[in-house]
Chains A and B, each alone.
Chain A
Amino acid sequence: MSAPSSSPPEPALEPRGLAAPHGGVADQIVIDAQDLRMIYPPPKAGGKGTVAVDGVGFQVWRGEIFGFLGPNGAGKTTTISILTTLLDPTSGRARIEGIDVLAHPNDVRRKIGLVFQKSTADEELTGRENMLIEAGLYGLTSGQIGGHVNDLLAQMDLATSADRFVKTYSGGMRRRLELAVGMVHKPKLLFLDEPTLGLDPQGRAGFWRYIRYLRDSQGLTVFMTTHYLDEADQLCDRIAVIDHGKIIALGTPKQLKDSVGGDTLVLSVAAGSADPTALISPLPGVTAISRQGDSLRVKCSRGESLVPKVVMTAAQAGIEILGVTVIKPTLDEVFLHLTGHAYREEGEAPNGNPGHGAGNGPEGAPA
């Protein structure tokens, strides 16, 4: 019935060698995607097809939260659709728990849970009814699964609203119900497609707690897509950064940030002062300096320890420093570093993208 699950552990597609991160077990591969390609047919005959996914390959290890990070249109949703059997790739192959998604889609469907971008619960039904009907689609009766449904509703803090119509639920409650519905048949692997889209920052942080809880309490492996940099940074054990259908980096958030090369010190100098560049560049740890008007961006290895030295050196030369900001590298800068273009959504202004952390102006290309 099911395909052999003894796939030989292949070397992970890491930019550099990695230890297994929190929770992840590197020799237990849950998702194995190889050279996935998806070309959507052209809308009109004779037109060119849209290449949504262009040779994507990666492995997800048991127990980890694996993030697929990229701007809208990068190919995240197409990839998750292929992995969850909802879309047949143009080429390439993917195995879930060793089972080929193309050869045995129904076996894969039984193994995985799926939380969609949009709420897919039936508004006219209660939360509990939605769960029981979903369970029925897997052939499970309420007698078999009723206790599990109660547990899930309680874990998602929906016990008191379980018998209310979904149309009365708030946005956060709907997302939690989606999570509960996705878990109703006790999958060991959960796919989340942009799970916190449309939630405010507080609601998002709250939702992460439920995902972590499920991972920790049920030994779940989580594959999620997101276009929120902070979400990937704080929630995911490992991240694949995807842009224009290709994976451009893969690693833990810390590894990715370290790859950019340290902190940035932003100094604002009083107008009319002398240029302190020549004084600062010989200081230990400084790797690069760029100047724009009255502000100086200093790339360095340990920003905090450099601050007193910079201020003292400048003061001795009679240059007044008005302010100093230490910027720790963010995924924003990682993205900029890797792609050469700033991370932002289509149609969005270069500045003023909320939720990406401070000091991420596109002007400050890292050295």
Chain B
Amino acid sequence: MMLPAFSLIRREYIRWIRAPTWVISGLLSPILYLILFGQAFDLGKLLPPGTPAGVLASALSGAPTYFSYFAVGMVAFASVTAAMFSGTGIIFDKQLGILQRILSTPISRRSVFLSSLIFRGMLTLIPAFLVVGFALLLAYVPGVAGLQVGANVTALDAAQFLGAALILSVAFTSLFLSFGFAVQRIESYFGVVTILQLPILLTSNAMYPVNIMPTWLQYLVGFNPISLAVNVMRMSLFGTNGYTYSVGIYLLGLLAWAVVFVLLALLLASRALRSHVGPVGGALSDAIAT
């Protein structure tokens, strides 16, 4: 006996492994951010010479350099950017009738959703890990800034880091999957994603410190799930000084977002899977819907 959901994951995996262009384009932008943006936009260089080291460290909540601060933000950035493609597969499956074939088999509707969440969620973690690895490697390249991690990072810190990355991935994969279930056309999907992309990323602390922002923006940034995840990741690597709440609180906040997004996706998925079930081939239901 094999779990039907595993069969769907296998199908997605085969498709994914055969489309290397997607892998390259999905990984390229975070790497470019690290090499170009991260190297150029060094906030530390704006400080006058002779400024005590503690000033920068306190502005960056304990991170030794701006690049180290930024690189951790890019981990979340890469994961969320990758998640933005999560809903595309389901739209093509709807259009090509593949979803309907799947629904004509005894597989449960929940398994259809869960297989997408598991596979797409794992895909969003790959760029996150590659960003960590690449940023760490850059520290060994002369003349280039790299990610510097405190020597006293414990196994618990690493687990917190991974946990935050995982929950963030589940949250945004679910959010974008729910759009994929809700809309019928790829154009509508990317319309929604494009509208959301910049507000989601720019109202976070991924790229610059919160304390240089105006108060109203700080509020917004404080609630952003990306900020919550990045807080946990930075606290795990650079220490907890300069943060209002503990790691646990930030993790709980992030978890709350994930629960909301998973529930939203479950709701939209079950609605879509029910209403999508129509005449075989879909031509008649299309004709009636329009």
A residues bordering B, Cβ < 8 Å?
40, 43, 50, 52, 73, 77-78, 80-81, 84-87, 106, 109-110, 114, 116-120, 122-125, 129, 133-141, 181, 193-194
Contact = CB atoms under 8 A, between A and B. Distances in A.
Contacts of A87: 277-279
Interface string B183-210: 0000000000000000000000000000
Nearest to A135: B7
Interface string B1-43: 1111011101100110011000000000000000000000000
Given A133-B11, A137-B8, A138-B106, A86 B278 contact: yes
B151 interface: no
A120 B288 contact: no
A111 to B, nearest CB: 10
B101 interface: yes
A114 B97 CA distance: 13
Contacts of A73: 284
Nearest to A106: B106
Contacts of B97: 116, 118-120
Given A85-B104, A120-B98, A77 B4 contact: no
Given A124-B15, A129-B14, A138 B4 contact: yes
A81 B279 contact: yes
Interface residues of B, number: 35
A137 B107 contact: yes
A50 B288 contact: yes
A136 B288 contact: no
Contacts, number: 106
Given A77-B280, A116-B101, A134-B101, 10 more contacts: A81-B279, A87-B278, A109-B105, A114-B101, A116-B100, A118-B281, A135-B7, A137-B4, A138-B105, A138-B106
Interface in B273-290: 277-284, 288-290
A141 B11 contact: no
A109 B6 CA distance: 19
Contacts of B10: 133, 136
B280 A116 contact: yes
Interface of B: 1-4, 6-8, 10-11, 14-15, 18-19, 96-98, 100-107, 277-284, 288-290
B7 A136 contact: yes
A134 B98 CA distance: 11
A141 B2 CA distance: 6
Contact of B283 (A117, A120, A123): A117
Nearest to A143: B2
A124 B18 contact: yes
B166 to A, nearest CB: 26
Contacts of B100: 86, 116, 120
Contacts of A109: 104-106
17 contacts: A50-B288, A84-B104, A85-B104, A86-B100, A86-B279, A114-B104, A114-B280, A116-B281, A118-B96, A120-B96, A120-B100, A133-B10, A134-B105, A136-B2, A136-B6, A139-B1, A141-B2
Contacts of B104: 84-86, 109, 114
Q: Which of B101, B102, B288 has the most CB of A within 10 A?
A: B101
Contact of B2 (A78, A110, A139, A194): A139
Nearest to A124: B15
B253 to A, nearest CB: 38
Contacts of B277: 86-87
B4 A139 contact: yes
A109 B100 CA distance: 13
A134 B10 CA distance: 11
A193 B1 CA distance: 30
